[in-house]
Amino acid sequence: LFLDRSDAVELPIKFIPQYAGCYHCQILLKSSCDVRVYEIECVVNTNHAEAELEFLTPAYQAVIQDIPISNMSSQDWKLEAILEGRGFYGPPLINVGLGETALYPLMFKPIAE
- 90 located within any domain: yes
Is there a contact between 100 and 88 (Cβ–Cβ < 8 Å)? Answer: no
- 70 located within any domain: yes
Distance CA 63, CA 111 (A): 12
Does the predicted model carry a pTM greater than 0.85?
no
- 80 located within any domain: yes
- 100 located within any domain: yes
Which amino acid is present at 48? Answer: H
- 67 located within any domain: yes
pLDDT tens, residue order, the chain (113 aa): 555 666 677 888 888 888 777 888 898 989 899 998 989 888 787 776 677 778 788 888 899 999 999 888 778 889 999 988 888 999 999 999 988 999 999 999 888 77
- 91 located within any domain: yes
Domain that holds residue 80: 63-108
If residue 70 lies in a helix (H) or strand (E), which one and from where to where? strand 63-70
> For the chain, how many structural domains are there in total?
1
